[in-house]
Chain A
Amino acid sequence: MKAYLVGALPRTEKLIKAYRDRAKNKISDTALLSELESTSRAYIEVQRRNGFAYIIDGMLGWNDLLRPFASSLENVVVNGLSRWFDNNFFYKAPVITGKLSLRNRIDTSPFFHQFIETEKRKIVVPEPLTFAKLSFNKFYSRLDDLVYDIAQALAHYLRQLGEFAQVQLTAAYLVSGKVSSEDLELSRSAVEVLRKTVDAELMLHLQFGSAEKNLDNFLDFPVDVIGLDMFKTRVECLRGLETDKCIFLGFVDGRNTLLEDAAATVSLMKKVASMASFGELHIGPNCELEHLPHEYALKKIEVLGEVVKLSGESL
């Protein structure tokens, strides 16, 4: 059993203030970076203390999931606010104005992976079709050309960022209810591009929607872990599941402050383990914890830590 996070953590009030002060020129870039670094280190430590198998740096310098990668691409500008799926949170949509390629020098300032040991280091990036669907395409006449170019650029991007133990592709579009069978096939082929180049455990995380309808298709994706949002996907739909892949169960709600009971969560995990056959059971939040206030994100991490302890004794 492994526990880990699946996306950005919330900025602390101190860090929010540092960003505001920087915008007003009250503090220097160095002072902001120093605050970012110390907050990232604190989040890394809390994940380590709670026994997480993979650790993220908190993604505190990311304004949204798409931004660091979008800002590293030629012929892309970010513009206008768009709703992040069914949340009261907005991202800036990439506007694609020409053929995509990775810039010669990418901006690595929002990353603090160097403080995480390589065998636990995890990065979260958008799945290529999700990135394409959330962008405004003003150049490509064919969706598949766009998606393959995103996948190629993403592969280069990940290589430049260094070594990771797990690479997560956040694929919320695939469970948004708008996906066609052609979309699924296109996404699968694009993930294949990444599979060939990424030397790490690869996870497809399906958040904000139910994976039930297309679960069989998702199991065909060339990834090692399938992540499910269990606040959208029924437990019952996993009955009889047979796969060698690992299954990640998002049993901790990243969008609500109500704290889960660790013992009840372990009991649900046991239920899934008894009704399905899969490689390994992974657990964590259903989505990024940045939709919670800082203190509640910490509490959720502690709930997961408790689940790790309890399941170590009983699973």
Chain B
Amino acid sequence: MSKLFPVMEVGSLNKAPFRVKDLARAVEQAEKWGKALDVENYEELVELLRNRQVSEDLLVDWACIYGLRFFESAGLDVVYDGEQRRVEMYEHPLRYIEGFEYRGVVRVWDNEFYRKAAVVKRPRLIQPYHMDELRFNKKHAKKPLKVPVTSAYTLADWSFDEYYSKHARGEDLAARANAGRRDFVLDLVEEVLRPVVKALDSEGVDYIQLDEPAAATKPHESELVVESINETFQGIRAKKAVHICYTDYKALFPALLELKIDVLSISCSNADTTRLGTDPDARPGFEVLKVFKEYDVSFRVAPGLVDVHTDFVEPPELVRDRALYAAKVLGDPGKVVACNDCGLRTRSWDVAYQKQLSLVRGAAMAREMFG
């Protein structure tokens, strides 16, 4: 990608709107989006739905094709299928890893809970995951692909540890907890993440993205986060991306300087205003980029130019101003990749699509400013 402000997505989309129980609605949505996204032979799906002849597997295949076309027709430069085959970023990989057992639900906030597993022995990869998904997408995609993968550190941080801290030496609980933690993360890299990423790489994919939402949970472990990412990506030919969202990015410095990747995508628009302008008052969400400039990071930054937690559709002019401000702060438009704050899973396809059109148009407007 040599053009300025290339446009990428982050990962997830809401389930394709035809994956509903109401048959009439499924048919209507398959038709509407088939036409809108210019999905080839979408009439086949419509007919299958109408005749109730579509299996769940086939429906998911179609959802992936619609997901690809969703981003392609909006004009993004790097795309994926909106993670239509995946349940959730934690439980999905755990299906393919031996050594974890679910322990029950724990609270994330208020009355929201997630199923949390414990590592009970050294993790072992049953088989590389996301492979069928990637192969299918490669067959159908018309643009470069970026496959998202949940990172080792995040899998460890979101799990209990009934193995490593138990086997760590010494009487002191604090020392044992620390020693066990490092072994847990690096074993996940060696036994699981690196083989998965290698297998994906051998299929030939343009980008591999490690999703690292837990990266700044424990600022004192930021070096371990970076080490685990670099170790995971060792020897990979594909371009390397990392996504870290909604966090205190400053807490990750200076460790982030050691990150050997091509692009880091971060969330900015969720903390920004919707006023036009390229002055600091209008762009508080992008102030965080100053620390990236201050440390002169070697990788490109993909600040979220679109907030995925609101139905407000950013006008292209707002996206343009956010991109221009990011370029101004980083001191180099070539350092900026246009992106969303995070996956679009929480938005309807209607809203998400409008947001992607704006993202692409806004990035093009910013590009024009540089001739």
Contact B107 A89 (CB under 8 A): yes
Which of A81, A257, A271 contacts B162 (CB under 8 A)?
A257
Contact A13 B105 (CB under 8 A): yes
The answer to whether B224 has its CB under 8 Å from any CB of chain A is: no
Query: B219 to chain A: which residues have CB within 8 Å?
Result: 86, 177
Which of A97-105, A153-161, A219-227, A288-296 is found at the contact surface with chain B?
A288-296
Contact B172 A234 (CB under 8 A): yes
Query: A177 to chain B: which residues have CB within 8 Å?
Result: 219-220
Closest to B218 in A: A86
Which of B104, B172, B174, B217 contacts A86 (CB under 8 A)?
B217
The answer to whether A91 has its CB under 8 Å from any CB of chain B is: yes
The answer to whether B312 has its CB under 8 Å from any CB of chain A is: no
A258 to B173, CA, bound (A): 12
Contact B171 A89 (CB under 8 A): no
Contact B171 A257 (CB under 8 A): no
Shortest C-beta distance, A309 to chain B (Å), equals: 21
Which of B109-117, B189-197, B285-293 is found at the contact surface with chain A?
B109-117
The answer to whether A168 has its CB under 8 Å from any CB of chain B is: no
Contact B161 A90 (CB under 8 A): no
A13 to B105, CA, bound (A): 8
A268 to B162, CA, bound (A): 20
Contact A258 B166 (CB under 8 A): yes
A173 to B21, CA, bound (A): 49
Query: A257 to chain B: which residues have CB within 8 Å?
Result: 103, 118, 160, 162
Query: A83 to chain B: which residues have CB within 8 Å?
Result: 217, 247
Query: B162 to chain A: which residues have CB within 8 Å?
Result: 256-258
Shortest C-beta distance, A234 to chain B (Å), equals: 5
Given A234-B172, A268-B171: A256 in contact with B111 (beta carbons within 8 A): no
Query: A166 to chain B: which residues have CB within 8 Å?
Result: none
Contact B107 A11 (CB under 8 A): yes
Which of A16-24, A121-129, A185-193 is found at the contact surface with chain B?
A16-24
Which of A20, A251, A293 contacts B111 (CB under 8 A)?
A20
Would you list which residues of chain A between 77 and 92 have a CB under 8 Å from chain B? 81, 83, 86-92
Contact A90 B165 (CB under 8 A): no
The answer to whether A231 has its CB under 8 Å from any CB of chain B is: yes
Using an 8 Å CB-CB cutoff, how does the interface string of B165-190 with A read, 1 for contact, 0 for none? 11000011111010000000000000
Shortest C-beta distance, A113 to chain B (Å), equals: 22
Query: B107 to chain A: which residues have CB within 8 Å?
Result: 10-11, 89, 290-291
Would you list which residues of chain B between 105 and 147 have a CB under 8 Å from chain A? 105-111, 113, 116, 118
Which of B110, B166, B173, B217 contacts A251 (CB under 8 A)?
B173
Which of A92, A210, A232, A233 contacts B109 (CB under 8 A)?
A92
Shortest C-beta distance, B174 to chain A (Å), equals: 5
Query: A90 to chain B: which residues have CB within 8 Å?
Result: 108-109
Closest to B117 in A: A257
Query: A23 to chain B: which residues have CB within 8 Å?
Result: 111
Query: A268 to chain B: which residues have CB within 8 Å?
Result: 171, 173
The answer to whether B295 has its CB under 8 Å from any CB of chain A is: no
A81 to B110, CA, bound (A): 10
Closest to B217 in A: A86
Contact A230 B173 (CB under 8 A): yes
Closest to A90 in B: B109
The answer to whether A235 has its CB under 8 Å from any CB of chain B is: yes
Contact B173 A88 (CB under 8 A): no
Would you list which residues of chain A between 214 and 254 have a CB under 8 Å from chain B? 230-236, 251, 253
The answer to whether A63 has its CB under 8 Å from any CB of chain B is: yes
Query: A13 to chain B: which residues have CB within 8 Å?
Result: 105
Given A231-B174, A295-B104: A88 in contact with B158 (beta carbons within 8 A): yes
Given A230-B173, A230-B174, A268-B171: A293 in contact with B161 (beta carbons within 8 A): no
Which of B106, B109, B171, B175 contacts A64 (CB under 8 A)?
B109
Query: B158 to chain A: which residues have CB within 8 Å?
Result: 88
A19 to B111, CA, bound (A): 7
Contact A234 B108 (CB under 8 A): no
A233 to B175, CA, bound (A): 9
Contact B174 A293 (CB under 8 A): no
The answer to whether B297 has its CB under 8 Å from any CB of chain A is: no
Query: B103 to chain A: which residues have CB within 8 Å?
Result: 257, 292-293, 295-296
Which of B110, B116, B166, B214 contacts A293 (CB under 8 A)?
B116
Query: B247 to chain A: which residues have CB within 8 Å?
Result: 83
Query: B272 to chain A: which residues have CB within 8 Å?
Result: none
Would you list which residues of chain B between 71 and 111 have a CB under 8 Å from chain A? 103-111
A231 to B106, CA, bound (A): 20
Contact A234 B174 (CB under 8 A): yes
A267 to B156, CA, bound (A): 30
Query: B217 to chain A: which residues have CB within 8 Å?
Result: 83, 86-88
Q: A83-B247, A293-B116 are in contact. List 9 more A-B contacts (CB 8 A).
A: A87-B217, A88-B217, A90-B109, A231-B173, A256-B162, A257-B103, A258-B118, A293-B103, A296-B103
Chain B residues within CB distance 8 Å of chain A: 103-111, 113, 116, 118, 157-158, 160-162, 165-166, 171-175, 177, 214, 217-220, 247
The 16 sampled A-B contact pairs (Cβ below 8 Å) are A10-B107, A16-B113, A63-B111, A83-B247, A88-B108, A88-B217, A89-B107, A89-B109, A177-B220, A256-B165, A271-B171, A290-B107, A293-B104, A293-B116, A294-B104, A296-B104
